Amino acid sequence: MKLTAKQQSVLDELGKIGRKNAYLYRETQPYLHQKDCEKLALGDQACVFGMGGLTFQVAHRLGVSAPSVLSVFKALRRKELVIREESHPEYQRARYWWPVGLAAELAGELLPTGEVTP
């Protein structure tokens, strides 16, 4: 699928944030790391809240405005490349975003074979 340079940079940065969050507690807090691994085993939707990246977080890392990143997220969502946290519709603050397929990739790295839910 063809992406603009900006879309690719936002998607790449979101992936870096998700990867960092998946490995965050690995060495220091085994219990929290295990909870994150359980989310990875359940798939992308389970990972969005708490492990995903926020619009302003991606914007800050890339040195661009949050509204600019939000518009890119919306375009990527239409292309089914990212998902948005939807578990709390009444929540009016920033939403978490997650790249589609990242949970399976990270589960392959962090979980023993056979623990991943398709």
CA–CA gap between residue 38 and residue 82 (Å, rounded) = 20
Q: Mind listing the domains of the chain with CATH numbers?
A: 5-109 (1.10.10.10)
> pLDDT tens-digit profile of 84-110?
988 767 776 668 999 999 999 999 999
- The secondary structure of 25-80 as a DSSP string is TTTT-HHHHHHHHHHHHH-HHHHHHHHSEEHHHHHHHHTS-HHHHHHHHHHHHHTT
* Core vs surface per residue 82-100: b (16+ CB within 10 A) or e: bbebeeeeeeeeebbbbbb
H or E element that contains 7: helix 5-23
pTM metric for this prediction: 0.89
Looking at residue 12, its amino acid is D
* Pair of tokens at residue 57: 């977080």
What percent of the chain clears pLDDT 90, i.e. is strictly above it?
Answer: 81
Per the model's pLDDT, the better-predicted residue between 50 and 61 turns out to be: 61
CA–CA gap between residue 74 and residue 12 (Å, rounded) = 15
| pLDDT for the residue numbered 113 | 61
pLDDT at 36 > cutoff 70: yes
| pLDDT for the residue numbered 115 | 46
